[in-house]
Amino acid sequence: MLRMSDIGFNWGSARRAASAQRWERQSAAMGSGVTQAIVDAAEPAPGMQVLDLACGTGAPALQIARRVSPGGRVIGIDLAAAALEIAQHRAHERNLDNVEFQQHDAQNLPFADATFDLVTSRFGLMFFSDLPRALADSRRVLRPGGRFAAITWGTFEQQTYFRSTFGVVLRELPGAELPPAAGPIFKFGTPGTLSSVLQAAGFRDIREQVMEVPWVWPGAPAEIWQYVQESTVPFRPLIDLITLNDRQRIESRVVQELSQYERDGEVRMTAVVVIVTAAK
């Protein structure tokens, strides 16, 4: 899993945790299409034991927990303690007692061989510094015939959300480039890339599909720009390039760009994702 030193700032910082709490409703709504897509592809069923890698603040582990009840259980793991606290709080709010969140490295899983029926990951694989090792360990903890399901971003150019926010910053600041930490987000956008990594890790029956899903913000375009600035991590160096002189101009351009997707009090964007499933 990507370590804090790899990106130079903290995924689990107090600032980001506060942002996650502030924008919880809007962020959950925006990502609900992606979460639904990975849950549907994973096909969790009652009684399953599930491991969710890089679980963040709880999606999709919380939804999977409902699907595996009765008799099933979900463990979500992440390195960011602050995110795990939020996830556990959300589980309590939803009266889910069959899900727990633990601080572990996906590249060094502390679980016995053949423990889980299903391993999932939502927007996590792109950030593992040693993905082959993480996949090998995921395969190890799966039971024979167990399944693996993951979802990653398509390319930068396919995403209305990224093009309308960070894309505007790149156009408005001559010489600006995507930060090195942001590049991995889109590393599996080319079809077949993720499948080949899973095949090398020993998985079989690999199926990959590119899908366009709703990415809808329940609010105004200006709120999205606020959210982006407060919660971004890999793109933080790009945001930090914006000077006081640039700020108003760039905000105006971002809001203008996002406004073309505004309908009935929502900003109705789409996300292009790559979904892959496989078996041990």
For each of the chain's 280 residues, which pLDDT tens digit applies? 333 333 333 545 556 666 667 888 899 999 999 999 999 999 999 999 999 999 999 999 999 999 999 999 999 999 999 889 999 999 999 999 999 999 999 999 999 999 999 999 999 999 999 999 999 999 999 999 999 999 999 999 999 999 999 999 999 999 999 999 898 999 999 999 999 999 999 999 999 999 999 999 999 999 999 999 988 888 999 999 999 999 999 999 999 999 999 999 999 999 999 999 999 9
How far apart are the two ends of the chain, measured CA to CA in Å?
21
Q: How far is the C-alpha of 11 from the C-alpha of 16, rounded, in Å?
A: 7
Q: How far is the C-alpha of 20 from the C-alpha of 14, rounded, in Å?
A: 10
pTM: 0.91
Q: How far is the C-alpha of 147 from the C-alpha of 38, rounded, in Å?
A: 13
Calculate the average pLDDT of the chain.
Answer: 92
Question: What's residue 17's pLDDT?
Answer: 61
CATH class of 6-156+183-218+270-279: alpha beta
Question: What's residue 275's pLDDT?
Answer: 98
Burial of 244 (0-12, 13-18, 19+ CB in 10 A): exposed
Look at residues 214, 278, 193 and name the one whose alpha carbon lies nearest to residue 33: 214
Q: How far is the C-alpha of 59 from the C-alpha of 268, rounded, in Å?
A: 21
Cβ atoms of residues 32 and 102 within 8 Å: no
The answer to whether the peptide bond before residue 44 is cis (omega within 30 degrees of 0) is no
Q: How far is the C-alpha of 121 from the C-alpha of 52, rounded, in Å?
A: 6
- b/e 69-93 (16+ beta carbons within 10 angstroms → b): beebbbbbbbbbebbbebbbebbee
The answer to whether the peptide bond before residue 180 is cis (omega within 30 degrees of 0) is no
Per-residue pLDDT tens digits for 220-256: 999 999 999 988 888 999 999 999 999 999 999 999 9
Question: What's residue 41's pLDDT?
Answer: 98
